[in-house]
A and B are shown apart, each in its own frame.
Chain A
Amino acid sequence: MSANPLLKVSDLSKFYGSRIGCSAVSFDLWPGEVLAVVGESGSGKTTLLNCLSTRLMPSTGCVQYHMRDGEYRDLYRMSEAERRFLMRTDWGFVHQNPADGLRMTVSAGANVGERLMAVGDRHYGRIRQTATEWLERVEISQDRIDDQPRAFSGGMRQRLQIARNLVTSPRLVFMDEPTGGLDVSVQARLLDLVRGLVNDLGLSAIVVTHDLAVARLLSHRMMVMKDGHVIEQGLTDRVLDDPREPYTQLLVSSILQV
């Protein structure tokens, strides 16, 4: 692991009028680390994720990102062109609903290849080759490369979305409930896949989820949010096995034990 954090978040707040979206969030994210943000519905998880990924402008606070050239840049002071470039090369964003992150009317191969073409790859054969490799990596058979995502099952769409995001080998991936809306067996397979990819590629990831099992499987560290505030953060196993805050204790004890 490198000696510098990939992302330095300090005092990030987002207010919707007088309502709090998230308030005074600070943390560092290290290269190769997976951070889970958990909490109940409406606790500000997604607001936080949207602010971090610059899809939403925060009210106060700043986020420093460690660029590939070694410099730290304030995400909110970058030009829009730089931000959008960062988003399609160095970052990935996996939506809960694959339809939001995919182009449903173009083939799977083009979905994976879009980022390559966006950064200037103009060789059809190479793009297709890379797309094929990535489909294989996310366990979609090669003969589906020319099918549109709407012909895919929910689990396949989600895997395709992941392939589409990872094709430019990003360093940071944001995931918003990546397993939401999938049935349990598909969830397990997807989690397995994501965990493998994160390990292989040395990605950092911020995963928003309300599912503590997902956090347990994927993340190294977790943050518990309630009403827009981070009430507890620490190593995942520590937080889940030995929750300190009453709310976290409640959350952990409310998991059904089968």
Chain B
Amino acid sequence: MSMPATELAAYNFAYLDEQTKRMIRRAILKAIAIPGYQVPFASREMPMPYGWGTGGVQVTAAILGPQDVLKVIDQGADDTTNAVSIRAFFQKVANVAVTTHTGEATVIQTRHRIPEDTLREGQVLVYQVPIPEPLRFLEPRETETRKMHALEEYGLMHVKLYEDIARHGRIATTYAYPVKVAGRYVMDPSPTPKFDNPKMHRSEALQLFGAGREKRIYAVPPFTDVVSLDFEDHPFEVQSFDKPCALCGARHVYLDEVVLDDRGGRMFVCSDTDYCETRRADGHVGEMLGQSQEAAE
């Protein structure tokens, strides 16, 4: 394996030592073999705090090769702290090519979003997961939740949805919306907005989930059924937005709210920055694009 820059000779390629990568790869293989099942693994200390994506980073480090092209997003954006630091980390310890373009990347590490562009075969999406157990807030005992997964006792998940409807008149869960994978395991898709749930269904890309603090890895292999749980009379539906993106005019994408001033001014823009930039480069114009450029100048 090629060494990166000489002053980093103390690091193995992609930071983790080969035995650790081997252990993580075994967990990943098992996770792929049992879609949606949470495989325990010996999570390592990483040079970042828990909650910053230690699980995702370990999975990425284990699957990354010198030929890979890496993209890192945080809430859809390539330029936020978490994304920038993790991207810089892998540039430093693995010397891999990085990109912000979804289409060019072979490995995409993500925090809480799935890119708007449809992922294709050969790409790997790595999620950073804070709490892998979808039943955790209803059943605090780990022994019990494992048994419930083993025996496929998922009635409790619907109790949560029932509570939502009873309190809010609709299913008010908007993120970390539980899904059933390949008709068997109920899985927490990490705190992605439920807007992204349909993208997981029969996706061409391999989806890997790493939870560093909770020491769990799970996976959705390509072309696997991922079905969001719901009631017959309250079917699953994704968020919809009244206006298109204020910068690129895109509809049917997930938008972030940006507060503009202290007088109630706000705009809605694509949460996926790469998608938005590409569209603007192609000449799409949203209603506030001119204004924001003036404001910037």
Q: B7: which A residues are within 8 A, CB to CB?
A: none
- Check if B166 sits within 8 Å of A80, measured CB to CB: no
Given A123-B231, A123-B233, A124-B233, is A107 in contact with B166 using a C-beta cutoff of 8 Å?
Answer: yes
A 145-171 contacts with B by CB, 8 A = 145-146
Query: What is the bound-complex CA distance between A22 and B163, given in angstroms?
Result: 42
Q: What band does the interface of chain B fall in when counting residues whose beta carbon is under 8 Å from A?
A: 10 to 19
Q: Does B167 contact A (CB under 8 A)?
A: yes
The total of interchain contacts (Cβ-Cβ below 8 angstroms) comes to 56
- Check if A122 sits within 8 Å of B232, measured CB to CB: yes
Q: Residues of B at under 8 Å CB distance from A? A: 138, 147, 151, 153, 155-156, 158-160, 162-163, 165-167, 230-234
Q: B138: which A residues are within 8 A, CB to CB?
A: 103, 106
**Which residue from chain A places its CB closest to the CB of B148 in the assembled complex?**
A84
Given A103-B159, A123-B231, A125-B233, is A110 in contact with B166 using a C-beta cutoff of 8 Å?
Answer: yes
B-facing mask of A116-128, CB < 8 A → 1, else 0?
A: 0111001111011
Given A117-B155, A119-B155, is A110 in contact with B163 using a C-beta cutoff of 8 Å?
Answer: yes
Choose among A109, A110, A124 the residue that contacts B231 (Cβ–Cβ < 8 A).
A124
Q: Residues of A at under 8 Å CB distance from B? A: 80-81, 84, 88, 103, 106-107, 109-110, 113-115, 117-119, 122-125, 127-128, 145-146
- Check if B155 sits within 8 Å of A124, measured CB to CB: no
- B237, chain A: closest CB distance, angstroms: 14
Given A109-B162, A124-B162, A127-B162, is A114 in contact with B231 using a C-beta cutoff of 8 Å?
Answer: no
Can you identify 24 A-B contacts, CB atoms within 8 angstroms? Answer: A80-B151, A81-B151, A84-B151, A84-B153, A103-B138, A106-B163, A107-B167, A110-B159, A110-B166, A114-B156, A114-B159, A115-B155, A117-B155, A117-B158, A117-B159, A117-B162, A118-B155, A118-B156, A122-B232, A123-B231, A124-B165, A124-B231, A124-B234, A125-B233
- Check if A146 sits within 8 Å of B232, measured CB to CB: no
Query: What is the bound-complex CA distance between A113 and B234, given in angstroms?
Result: 16
**Which residue from chain B places its CB closest to the CB of A79 in the assembled complex?**
B151
Query: What is the bound-complex CA distance between A146 and B162, given in angstroms?
Result: 11
Query: What is the bound-complex CA distance between A88 and B158, given in angstroms?
Result: 16
